[in-house]
Amino acid sequence: GTICNMGAEVGATTSIFPFDEKSAVYLEATGRKEVADEARRIMEYLQPDPEVVAHPEKYYDQLIEIDLSTLEPHINGPFTPDAAYTISEFAKAVKENNYPRKMEVGLIGSCTNSSYEDLTRAVSIVKQARNAHVPVRAQFLINPGSELVRYTAERDGILGVFEEAGATIIANACGPCIGQWKRDDEVKDRPNSIVTSFNRNFAKRNDGNPNTHAFVTSPELVAALTIAGDLCFNPLTDTLQNERGEWVKLAEPVGFEMPPKGYDVEDAGYLAPLEDGRDVQISIDPNSNRLQKLEPFRPWNGEDFIELSLLIKVKGKCTTDHISMAGPWLRFRGHLDNISDNMLIGAVNAFNDTTNSVLDPVTMGYSPLPALARKFKAEGVGSVVVAEENYGEGSSREHAAMEPRHLNVKVILVKSFARIHETNLKKQGMLALTFSNKEDYAKIQERDKISVTGLKEFAPGRNLTVELLHADGTKDSFEAAHTYNEQQIEWFKAGSALNAMNN
């Protein structure tokens, strides 16, 4: 589950493991015997063909072989899950990069590393420390991955061990991974380090502090580092001093793949949908700031996009967190207009190296980005977002595609897309383009008017033309590529995939 979850973080469309007997046993243990039986019946179709296993290089573009016995635990960060260090290299990286060495909070949970097995492996480390009289030196928070896991872990005494060690058990939810917590220590803008078992660690994501150095790793490493309170601690080689002055070496973690007594839960929180929901009437308070009825996006008018305004030229990394932040914004997730006030407020403007500050070409003053987008929309002006590599990196977040569509952004033009976000943009009727020549990114100037032509002949594999009208009257033009297929072009023409389905 962790590997498949993290696949999305690096832009993979799909991560696949072949179905096997262990998969079936897990389905049975979680109350899905009918699914397990059906999967067993067609197991040969849920596994690679024998000739593919024998000669994978004939069937795949790239084959990577990993000797698992040579792998060492890793810790990744800060500010991106891409920066990886082995635990034996990490102390050196902390010192060389001047990362805050004191570990202030350890967090286990959210959707990625919060299974029953994860908790048992982490708690085995906590038990060792307790039995050896080694205190926990950092704040410790646990949010189980589901009510099923929480209830079972509580029944089996696992959560009790965490609590005895000073950990706080919080709700089964995204929680601190998206900023839903209140830090006991006031950090504000103070540089500090936290270690989590979450899947994302972008700046300001966990607590709103741009100087919080968040590192991601396994639950058992989170537990060990939380006990140590020191980023430079390597549990493979180092020792910890206990309350008696003795030095203690932690043994490798152990755990259970599944609960020995099986899973249990009183209320899993699932409400089955009605068999026929056609007569259900949805009533939304028109004065609500949390809920808003979605209105269909307008279809394409059949014309080229002429002289759109540049909304922002993004510099560097721009993940779905930069495009649509979570945390305090979550209360608006059912209200598209309100949540759109967070659009791209984390993106760095290439012209002033500042976030949420873009040039209004009329007043020549700098404005918060959502405010300028709203002004353009009110004036009937479409706009363009320009960005660099892997735009929209991270797991799926539909709001990151819906918000620019809602605020009349017509085109996202980038060096490259994260594939999931690119597809989400297409579903919302956006025009997602890439520079055919990445060096053309440098041609974009702050007060440019941008046209996209060739839309009347929009077709798979056929480039479009981008024309720039600079403020001094000079012009540039270049080709832009796309990956639209016939169906996705119909989404664009209809205004969105939902519009196309309704048609």
Task: Return the ∠ at Cα 378 (arms to 372 and 381), rounded to 5°.
Answer: 75
Q: Helix 147-155 and helix 116-131: axis angle, to 10°?
A: 40
pLDDT digits (tens, 9 = 90+) for 259-290: 999 999 999 888 999 999 899 998 999 999 99
> What amino acid is encoded at 392 in this protein?
G
Q: Which of 23, 231, 264, 219 is nearest to 111 (CA)?
A: 219
343 shares its domain with 474: yes
Q: Give SS3 for 418.
A: coil
Gyration radius from the chain CA atoms: 25
Question: Measured between alpha carbons, how far is 327 from 63 in angstroms, rounded to an integer?
Answer: 39
39 shares its domain with 92: no
Asked if the bond preceding 191 is cis, omega within 30° of 0, the reply is no
Q: Which of 389, 412, 258 is nearest to 343 (CA)?
A: 412
Tell me if 439 is assigned to some domain: yes
Q: List the domain range (segments joined by +) for residue 28.
A: 2-58
53 shares its domain with 149: no
Q: Give SS3 for 311.
A: strand
Identify the pLDDT of residue 92: 98
199 shares its domain with 54: no
pLDDT digits (tens, 9 = 90+) for 145-187: 899 999 999 999 999 999 999 999 999 988 899 888 888 777 8
Final residue of a structural domain among 237, 264, 284 = 237
Give the chain's domain count: 3
222 shares its domain with 145: yes
Q: Which of 470, 417, 414, 450 is nearest to 310 (CA)?
A: 450
Tell me if 269 is assigned to some domain: no
Query: How far from 399 is each of 416, 424, 500, CA to CA, in Å?
Result: 20, 9, 19
16 shares its domain with 115: no
CB 444 within 8 A of CB 309: no
Tell me if 185 is assigned to some domain: yes
17 shares its domain with 101: no
17 shares its domain with 110: no
Residues in contact with 355: Cβ distance below 8 Å, sequence separation at least 6, in sequence order: 345, 346, 347, 348, 349
Place of tokens 């080689």: 237
Tell me if 267 is assigned to some domain: no
470 shares its domain with 334: yes
Final residue of a structural domain among 219, 237, 255 = 237
pLDDT digits (tens, 9 = 90+) for 338-396: 999 999 999 999 999 999 999 999 999 999 999 999 999 999 999 999 999 999 988 77
Final residue of a structural domain among 193, 211, 237 = 237
What is the pLDDT tens value at each position of the chain, 503 positions in all? 788 888 877 767 788 999 999 999 999 999 999 999 999 999 999 999 999 999 999 999 999 999 999 999 999 999 988 899 999 999 999 999 999 999 999 999 988 899 999 999 999 999 999 999 999 999 999 999 899 999 999 999 999 999 999 999 999 988 899 888 888 777 888 999 999 999 888 888 888 888 999 999 999 999 999 999 999 999 999 999 999 999 999 999 999 999 999 999 999 888 999 999 899 998 999 999 999 999 999 999 999 999 999 999 999 999 998 999 887 888 999 999 999 999 999 999 999 999 999 999 999 999 999 999 999 999 999 999 999 999 998 877 899 999 999 999 999 999 999 999 999 999 999 999 999 999 999 999 999 999 999 999 999 999 999 999 999 999 999 999 999 999 999 999 999 999 999 98
Tell me if 275 is assigned to some domain: no
What's 49's domain CATH number? 3.40.1060.10
What's 352's domain CATH number? 3.20.19.10
Query: The whole model's pTM is what?
Result: 0.85
Query: How far from 217 is each of 34, 60, 197, CA to CA, in Å?
Result: 35, 30, 5
Question: Measured between alpha carbons, how far is 322 from 325 in angstroms, rounded to an integer?
Answer: 6
Own/partner contacts of 79-83, CB < 8 Å, gap of 24 or more, are 79/201, 79/202, 79/203, 79/213, 79/214, 80/201, 80/202, 80/317, 81/6, 81/9, 81/10, 81/199, 81/200, 81/201, 81/216, 82/10
